[in-house]
Structure 1
Amino acid sequence: MLGWLRVITFAAVAALSTGAVAQEQYQEGVHYDLIEPAIHTGISDRVVVTEFFSYGCGHCYNFEPLLESFESRLPEGVVVQRTPVIWKDSPGMKLLARTYYTVEALDVFDPVHGAVFNTIHRQRKRLSSPEAVRAVFVE
């Protein structure tokens, strides 16, 4: 009796999971739309994937490893461009946006970008002053 139950359970699971295995092809106009005219990104010779983020956003922090993995597998001619966001003229968000642009201007993305996220989300420290941000750069 137990053997038949296993066979029936296996058959039911196999029959119900076939749709999950089939991979759907994305089609323009159905799954996505092209933006016309294209948005000017300042990079004309490559495809640009833009991430809008905030260092203070927990979801952005959790998404960062996935984005890094995605970025490491990009084909030639495709780049990721990050853009920090600011809501409602928030001084804290302005400071974090300035922090990102400072990271870019100083060309210290690899050591500092992750450190800023970790300081806020792992160490649970508030970066609410230029001095607090400076401490992350110095570490």
Structure 2
Amino acid sequence: MLKRVLLTLSLLTLPFAAQAEDVYVAGKDFDVINPAIRTADPDKIEAVEFFWYGCGHCYTFEPVLAQWKKTLPEDVTFRGIPAMWGGAMELHAKAYYASRALGVEEKMDQVIFQALNVDRKQLRTDGEIAELFVQNGIAEEDFYKAYNSFGVGSQVSQANATARAAKITGTPAMMVNGKYLIGPRKAGSTANMLKIADFLIAKERAAKES
């Protein structure tokens, strides 16, 4: 008799357990990208941040995101994609990929964020950006070689195409596995964006394992 009661109770609680797991809802907390965007590595679950160095919210989000990235399991990859809506944003995107080509991304990400958000520099010309790199130990010749390279130009074009396909409307925004877009407006906060990203990563992992 006791076993029957316990079984009945467990069956009654199943719908509530399912509801508890489905914390975040498409259209309400995040958007579904249709058609889905191809990821860099189909064998991994990909998390992306769309950002702009000159975005104050991106600047304050950066240290929180850095800590979150350290917690990502081995089956998850992360990459940043600079947003471009005209003006100097394309130059800043070139600086982003140039810093990676030169292997100085950890240092220069912080330097460029600082320059635009704290020091209030405009960085509207190639020369201003070059000067910033030179001030931080990169030879001007090496900077321009990377900055104007075919590889950096291709990455900038691809980043712009990806952001357009995702239909981002602001920064920061996050994308999970090319299928889901998370923005602070629907998420409620940048901190909540990471919780939703964790939820969607788990969802994608479960789909891969099924």
Task: Flag whether TM exceeds 0.5 (same fold).
Answer: yes
Distance in 1 (CA, whole Å) between partners of 2:89 and 2:31 is: 31
Match of 1:102 in 2: 98
Q: Evaluate the alpha carbon distance shift between residue 123 and residue 45 of structure 1 in structure 2; reply closer, same or farther with a 3 A threshold.
A: same
Alignment deviations for residues 28-67 of structure 1 (CA, whole Å, 9 cap, x no partner): 7666677677521222221111100111111111111111
Q: 2:38 aligns with which of 37, 40, 57?
A: 40
SS at match of 2:84: coil
Equivalent residue letter for 1:46: K
Q: Evaluate the alpha carbon distance shift between residue 61 and residue 32 of structure 1 in structure 2; reply closer, same or farther with a 3 A threshold.
A: closer
Distance in 1 (CA, whole Å) between partners of 2:55 and 2:131 is: 20
Match of 1:135 in 2: 131
Distance in 2 (CA, whole Å) between partners of 1:128 and 1:54 is: 14
- From the CA coordinates, give the structure whose radius of gyration is larger: 1
Q: Evaluate the alpha carbon distance shift between residue 32 and residue 125 of structure 1 in structure 2; reply closer, same or farther with a 3 A threshold.
A: closer
Alignment deviations for residues 45-92 of structure 1 (CA, whole Å, 9 cap, x no partner): 2111110011111111111111101001111121211111111xx231
Distance in 2 (CA, whole Å) between partners of 1:96 and 1:116 is: 9
Q: Evaluate the alpha carbon distance shift between residue 37 and residue 129 of structure 1 in structure 2; reply closer, same or farther with a 3 A threshold.
A: closer
Equivalent residue letter for 2:41: I
**Number of residue pairs aligned between Structure 1 and Structure 2:** 114
Distance in 2 (CA, whole Å) between partners of 1:133 and 1:79 is: 29
Q: Evaluate the alpha carbon distance shift between residue 103 and residue 26 of structure 1 in structure 2; reply closer, same or farther with a 3 A threshold.
A: farther
- Are the aligned partners of 1:85 and 1:93 in contact in 2 as well (CA < 8 Å)? yes
TM-score of the two chains, using structure 1 as the length reference: 0.70
| 2:21 is equivalent to residue 25 of structure 1 | yes
Q: Evaluate the alpha carbon distance shift between residue 28 and residue 61 of structure 1 in structure 2; reply closer, same or farther with a 3 A threshold.
A: closer
Q: Evaluate the alpha carbon distance shift between residue 91 and residue 37 of structure 1 in structure 2; reply closer, same or farther with a 3 A threshold.
A: closer
Q: 1:113 aligns with which of 96, 109, 113?
A: 109
Shift of 1:109: 1.1
Shift of 1:27: 5.1
Match of 2:72 in 1: 74
TM-score of the two chains, using structure 2 as the length reference: 0.48
Moved over 3 A (4+): 24-38
Structure with the larger helix share: 2
Distance in 1 (CA, whole Å) between partners of 2:58 and 2:42 is: 27
SS at match of 1:124: coil
| 2:59 is equivalent to residue 61 of structure 1 | yes
Which stretches in structure 1 are left out of the alignment for 5+ residues? Answer: 1-23
